[in-house]
């Protein structure tokens, strides 16, 4: 079967909009590499986000700011190679789209061409309107991101709940409407009051994916390493852990170390 006639089972941006219309929730997780992308894709995830949280999770930085466009392309391409069903969305990193719209388009085109991703995610509303217009006009699907936008962490001063005050909540509601009007296919809302997130989800046709935004939205996203319990120092209120890989890996590696030291590994069957 040629590539042109092969049945395409992959989710599209349209699929997600239809899922919202039918009231079917969207499950999204981050992944940054081929091996985990294969696992997550095979387990039935709808959307994989190659988040700039790779800066924290993969590289050990305190913030998402240091990660580069080349590094995001490397992670994005690795994830795309590991998937056949999920829609893969790659974050445009800090400093690659906020200054001038032509620069933003150049960054966006590089990620789409060099990683094979299906869509991009950008943080912000009104303040990045011109960059969004340019990228969307080139036919590149965009997921927005409002609320706690980690690329602005130094402006916020902390990772505390956003949009508690009326003025910020009002701006967030206007930004969500603007993103929909510009043509974004979905919006991530991070760490805002559940009632506000639900109100925004009801006000737009495009899916709202929450993280720390309650259950009244159209889907949820978590950082995969957090939900697998790989970081035993990170326990925010919004996080549910579905495994304790920190303990599992410690136990497995500890057993391996002791088997190597005691020469119980490898045994005769494991030798040539
Ligand atoms: O980079 C990331 O992982 C994200 C999610 C937390 C939404 O933006």
- pLDDT tens by residue, 90-119: 999 999 999 899 999 999 999 999 999 999
Closest ligand 1 atom to 188 CA: 7
Q: Say what the pLDDT of residue 99 is.
A: 85
Task: State mean pLDDT over 77-97.
Answer: 98
How many angstroms separate the alpha carbon of residue 139 from the centre of ligand 1? 23
For residues 57 and 26, what is the distance between their CA atoms, to the nearest angstrom?
Answer: 23
Beta carbons within 8 Å of 206's beta carbon, 6+ residues apart: 17, 20, 179, 180, 184, 185, 186, 187
Q: Is the CB of 53 under 6 A from ligand 1?
A: yes
| pLDDT average, residue stretch 218-246 | 97
What is the band of 4 on the pLDDT scale with cuts at 50, 70, 90? low
Express each pLDDT in 174-223 by its tens digit.
Answer: 999 999 999 999 999 999 999 999 999 999 999 999 999 999 999 999 99
Cβ neighbors of 128 (< 8 A, separation 6 or more) are 97, 98, 104, 122
Residue 8 pLDDT class (50, 70, 90 cuts): very low
Is residue 159's pLDDT more than 90? yes
pLDDT single digits (tens) 248-262: 999 999 999 999 999
- Residue to mutate (ligand 1; options 33, 48, 56, 91; most atoms within 8 A of CB): 91
Looking only at the bridges linking them, the beta strands covering 47-50 and 87-91 are parallel
Catalytic residues: 190
Q: Give the chain as a DSSP string.
A: --TTTS------HHHHHHHHHHT--EEEEE--SHHHHHHHHHTT-SEEEE-TTHHHHTT--SSSTT--HHHHHHHHHHHHHT-SSSEEEEEPPTTSSSS-HHHHHHHHHHHHHHH--SEEEEE-SGGGHHHHHHHHHTT--EEEEEES-GGGHHHH-SSPPP--SHHHHHHHHHHHHHHHHHT-SEEEEES--HHHHHHHHHH-SS-EEEESS-SSSSEEEE-HHHHTT--TT---TT---S--HHHHHHHHHHHHHHHHHTT-SS-GGG--
pTM, whole model, 2 decimals?
0.96
**Residue 2 predicted with pLDDT over 90:** no
Specify the residue for token string 């969004």: 132
CA of 54 from ligand 1 middle (Å) equals 9
Query: Distance, CA 21 to ligand 1 centroid (Å)?
Result: 24
Q: Best mutation site among 27, 53, 67, 159 for ligand 1, i.e. most ligand atoms within 8 A of its Cβ?
A: 53
Of 7-11, 93-97, 125-129, 204-208, where does mean pLDDT reach its minimum? 7-11
């Amino acid at each position: 079967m040629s590539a042109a006639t092969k049945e395409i089972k992959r989710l599209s941006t349209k699929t997600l909009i239809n899922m919202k219309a039918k009231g079917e929730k969207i499950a999204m997780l981050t992944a940054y590499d081929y091996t985990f992308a294969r696992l997550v894709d095979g387990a039935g995830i709808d959307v994989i986000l190659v988040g700039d949280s790779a800066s924290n999770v993969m590289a050990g930085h305190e913030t998402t700011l240091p990660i580069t466009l080349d590094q995001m392309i490397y992670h994005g391409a690795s994830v795309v190679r590991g998937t056949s069903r999920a829609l893969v969305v790659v974050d445009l990193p800090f400093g690659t789209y906020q200054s001038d719209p032509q620069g933003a388009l150049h960054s966006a085109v590089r990620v789409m061409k060099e990683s094979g991703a299906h869509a991009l995610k950008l943080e912000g509303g009104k303040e990045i309107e011109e960059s969004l217009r340019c990228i969307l006009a080139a036919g590149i699907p965009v997921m927005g991101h409002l609320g706690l936008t980690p690329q602005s962490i130094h402006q916020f001063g902390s990772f505390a709940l956003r949009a508690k005050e009326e003025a910020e909540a009002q701006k967030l509601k206007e930004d969500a409407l603007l993103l929909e009007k510009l043509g974004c296919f979905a919006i991530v809302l991070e760490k805002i009051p559940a009632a506000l997130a639900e109100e925004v989800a009801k006000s737009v046709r495009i899916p709202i994916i929450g993280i720390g935004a309650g259950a009244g939205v159209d889907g949820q996203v978590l950082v995969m390493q957090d939900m697998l319990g790989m970081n035993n120092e990170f326990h925010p209120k919004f996080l549910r852990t579905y495994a304790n890989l920190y303990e599992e890996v410690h136990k497995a590696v500890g057993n391996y170390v002791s088997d190597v030291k005691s020469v119980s590994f490898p045994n005769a069957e494991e030798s040539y």
